[in-house]
């Protein structure tokens, strides 16, 4: 399947599309981040990679870890807050990181606050983040989704990813695996 690349700009690890700004998390994002990662409807699909965050203080501690880890590898890893451009409101987060156990596969992840569901933000952010990874040397990205997470699987497909099967390789769970290769993008320049 060939998909059309999205238009986006990158400056200082801030990725901007027509509707979204993905920027590194800040410590003062603790309440907005808690609205995502402290919501059971979101967090139930993230364990064991990330457990439900119990309160804003715990979220702030997690943000301290994420901020400290920015730029520590040569790969385009990171976690970004997703802001809706029209309001400046943080509606979720996205991430690029090596998958356990050995880090050879590269995962793209998206998590949105439930009130932001159904607006196409996750697929827009996911597609652009995949292109960002390709621009920075990755040849393919994966999304791993629990079998009953139909929203996550549908988003992976809207990003342009292909289902490649199920595995227990990652996180010790049976997960659906979706993949997008750099060559799956249309010939438009990144």
Summarised one tens digit per residue, pLDDT across range 136-180 is: 999 999 999 999 999 999 999 999 999 999 999 998 899 999 999
For residue 44, what are the domain limits? Answer: 9-184
User: In this structure, is residue 1 part of a structural domain?
Assistant: no
> Of 8-22, 24-38, 91-105, 109-123, which gets the smallest average pLDDT?
8-22
Q: Return the CATH number at 25.
A: 3.40.630.30
| pLDDT value for 186 | 59
Check whether 74 has a pLDDT greater than 60: yes
pLDDT score, position 11: 63
| pLDDT of amino acid 72 | 65
Total of domains in the chain:
1
Q: What is the DSSP string of the chain?
A: --BPPPP-EEETTEEE-SSEEEEE--GGGHHHHHHHHT-HHHHTTTTTTSPPP-SHHHHHHHHHHHHHHTT-SSS--EEEEEEETTT--EEEEEEEEEPTTTS-SEEEEEEE-GGGTTSSHHHHHHHHHHHHHHHTT-SEEEEEE-TT-HHHHHHHHHHT-EEEEEESSSTTS-EEEEEEEGGGB-SS--
152 domain-assigned: yes
**Residue 4 counted as domain residue:** no
């Amino acid at each position: 399947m060939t998909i059309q690349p999205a238009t986006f700009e990158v400056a200082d690890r801030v990725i901007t599309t027509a509707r979204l700004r993905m920027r590194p998390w800040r410590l003062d994002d603790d309440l907005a981040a808690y609205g995502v990662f402290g919501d059971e409807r979101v967090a139930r699909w993230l364990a064991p990679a990330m457990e439900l965050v119990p309160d804003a203080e715990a979220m702030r501690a997690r943000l301290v870890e994420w901020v400290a880890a920015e730029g520590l590898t040569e790969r385009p890893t990171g976690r970004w807050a997703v802001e809706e451009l029209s309001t400046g409101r943080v509606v979720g987060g996205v991430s690029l990181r090596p998958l356990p156990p050995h880090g050879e596969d590269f995962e793209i992840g998206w998590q949105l606050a439930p009130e932001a569901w159904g607006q196409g933000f996750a697929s827009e952010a996911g597609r652009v983040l995949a292109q960002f990874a390709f621009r920075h040397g990755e040849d393919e990205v994966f999304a791993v989704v629990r079998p009953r997470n139909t929203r996550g699987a549908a988003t992976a497909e809207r990003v342009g990813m292909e289902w490649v099967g199920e595995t227990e390789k990652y996180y010790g769970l049976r997960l659906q695996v979706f993949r997008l290769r750099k060559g799956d993008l249309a010939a438009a320049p990144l």
